[in-house]
Amino acid sequence: MWVKLCGIRDLETARFIASLDVNAIGLNFYQPSARCVDLETARQIADCLPATMASVGVFVNHAPQEVARIAEFCGLSGVQLHGDETPEVVAEIARLVAPRFLIRAFRVGEEGLGEVATTLQTYRELGISLFGCLIDARVAGSYGGTGLTAPWDLLATGWQTNGWPPLILAGGLTPANVHSALATVQPWGLDTAGGVESKTGVKDPDLMIQFVQQARTANLSKASS
């Protein structure tokens, strides 16, 4: 189970997360977000992580050259795109940031996975290789971070595990519901931001510990069943 804690804004929190059984942290560069981090702090955070933990930059409608510049300056391991980037823009970003991995976020509601299927087909035609697809809840006027859950039952039945990139589940995940999320959706990975915060943008150490423990325990239970 791949686990990412997103929206890290300070070095102290990053160092704490480095002591947890986490695969990646997310560094948000979308300025309107309460979880946005400045470039110098992001660079220091990426530098402090162990080699086994990835630093992932979160971008929303940034120009490809800006994404590449920030990724290089901060020493990011990967790039996560959360905006309205066209497939052609995604292809350009993938080219510019290589060999860093690429995650594409999709916002999904009860309308289903048709848009995801169409987009992924276009990506294949353009030669875009994704590390994973992050699925968040669709909320009008928002690019994510709403605290609402994605349609778990729809993902459980509709995600094409054999033909699509790995599913990274996001949206409203907390220590209290991560077991249910894993049992229902059976994703490849998990991503949370607000679900481990004491208030918006402020990570809570106890909630982070609980989330990781719950995710790992649920994963072990699944493996032994």
List the domain boundaries for the chain: 2-220
What are 140's two structure tokens?
A: 């009008």
| Residue 36 neighbours by CB distance under 10 Å | 16
Name the CATH topology of 2-220: TIM Barrel (3.20.20)
Q: What is the pLDDT of residue 219?
A: 63
Q: What is the pLDDT of residue 224?
A: 47
pTM of the model: 0.94
Distance CA(42)–CA(84), nearest Å, equals 24
| Residue 144 neighbours by CB distance under 10 Å | 27
Tens of pLDDT along the chain (225 residues)?
A: 999 999 999 999 999 999 999 999 999 999 999 999 999 999 999 999 999 999 999 999 999 999 999 999 999 999 999 999 999 999 999 999 999 999 999 999 888 899 999 999 999 999 999 999 999 987 655 565 666 888 999 999 999 989 999 999 999 999 999 999 999 999 999 999 999 999 999 999 999 999 999 999 876 555 544
Distance CA(58)–CA(7), nearest Å, equals 9
Q: What is the pLDDT of residue 25?
A: 98
3-state secondary structure of 211: helix
Q: How many Å separate Cα 54 from the centre of its chain?
A: 11
Distance CA(156)–CA(136), nearest Å, equals 14
Give all strands (DSSP E) within 35-82, no chain letters: 54-59, 78-81
Length of the chain: 225
- Sort 104 into a burial class: Cβ within 10 Å, 0-12 / 13-18 / 19+: buried
Q: What is the pLDDT of residue 141?
A: 58
